[in-house]
Structure 1
Amino acid sequence: MNNGKPAPYDARVITHYGVLGLGFFPQVYYYWYKWLDGRYVGTAARTVVKKLLLDQFVLTPPLLVVFYVSMSVMERKTDLFEECRNKLLPTFKTSCIFWLPAQALNFLWVPPAARVIYVGTCAFAWVNILCWIKRQDY
């Protein structure tokens, strides 16, 4: 019973998310979108579809693996890959539902100079979904 008091924050867990969310992912996104926008210029349907497919099916799976394995390392789990094996597919499916529409808007209407900011804003919502998935038993 919490006696009406809010549950305390787990600073250690928040730090784990911060390490990845502030220290790793923004740099990956910066260089990824710089490359993607340089390689596939414009907002033609064909170009947007190429960017969507590359973003979702080339970048996302390794980033999800990095997320789960890195979190397992920081949590000092004995099997660093167990959570990744159990949650990668459900997380990827959810990622497709969330990120494909978000990135379609990104690639169609967001200027390249604002992509990282837009993705960062979407990522704020996504990280809450990711935290929820991480807490689930699969």
Structure 2
Amino acid sequence: MKIRRTYLSIIPRIFLSSHNHIRTFSVYSVRNIKEKCAKFHNKNPLVSNCFIYGGITGFTELTQQTVQLKLVPYWTDKELSSYDLASLARYTCLGLVVFAPVLHYWYRFLDRKYPSNTKIVVMKKVALDLIVLGIPLYAFFYAFMCGLEGNSFQQILKELEKKLLATLLAGAAFWVPAQTINFRFIQPSARILFISLCTFIEVNILSVLKKMDFDD
């Protein structure tokens, strides 16, 4: 009887010890993964950014399609009966080979050209980002996506004529405050994380605009 009581008293200790070991291992594993990711990003920032943006743009389109399928099955007149894998691939490709390299070198140029974060410098960066980068990048977004969809040059021009101005206005409304925060308060080393979160929101907006029919 005494042995049984001793055995039963040991069980909670064994369980608590195992739980502490598992928790310590989990914390160490997460910390180790974070350190390896940070090390890889520091050594290969362009490759890291490409994977991040490619993943974000692809995931954004996935969320759009999930909304269409599960929550609101009527964004447009076209019914979506299943996930459009081709569209997912197009948006992933957009982030991987277009947005990521362009934004990587663009922000590196701006930070080297204007290293300060004073109000005047921030205003210059925001204006340059919106005018010098924003207009051609949004135009290329529609041309690139329409080209991958197999549209003709005339169809691409029609798409730009219908949607580019609305996209620029929506982009300005979103990015002016976002980039003001970015250039004013975010350290260059943490810029990619902040921009990634903003990009998720923006690409959702672009995805909606791309699917909308402006003729109605």
Tell me the TM-score normalised to structure 1 length. Answer: 0.92
SS at match of 2:156: coil
What is the alpha-carbon distance in structure 2 between the residues aligned to residue 118 and residue 31 of structure 1? 16
Q: What is the match of residue 95 of structure 1?
A: 171
Tell me the TM-score normalised to structure 2 length. Answer: 0.60
Partner amino acid, structure 2, of 1:118: F
Structure 2, unaligned runs of 5 or more: 1-68, 71-80
**2:121 maps to which of 28, 32, 47:** 47
SS at match of 1:93: helix
Q: What is the match of residue 22 of structure 1?
A: 96
What is the alpha-carbon distance in structure 1 between the residues aligned to residue 125 and residue 112 of structure 2? 11
**1:129 maps to which of 192, 205, 208:** 205
What is the alpha-carbon distance in structure 1 between the residues aligned to residue 86 and residue 122 of structure 2? 39
What is the alpha-carbon distance in structure 2 between the residues aligned to residue 32 and residue 67 of structure 1? 16
Could you say which structure has the larger radius of gyration? 2
Shift of 1:121: 1.6
The percentage of aligned residue pairs carrying the same residue is 37
What is the alpha-carbon distance in structure 2 between the residues aligned to residue 19 and residue 123 of structure 1? 15
SS at match of 1:137: coil
Count of residues paired in the alignment: 134
Higher relative contact order (CA 8 A, sep 6+): 1
- Trace 1:49-68 onto structure 2 (pairs within 5 A): 49-68=123-142
CA-based RMSD of the aligned residues comes to 1.3
Partner amino acid, structure 2, of 1:91: T
Q: Deviations over 1:46-97 (max 9, x none)?
A: 0000000000111011000110000111010122222112100000000011
Shift of 1:115: 1.6
Partner amino acid, structure 2, of 1:100: V
Shift of 1:125: 0.9
Partner amino acid, structure 1, of 2:166: P
SS at match of 1:80: helix
Structure 1, unaligned runs of 5 or more: none
What is the alpha-carbon distance in structure 1 between the residues aligned to residue 181 and residue 189 of structure 2? 15
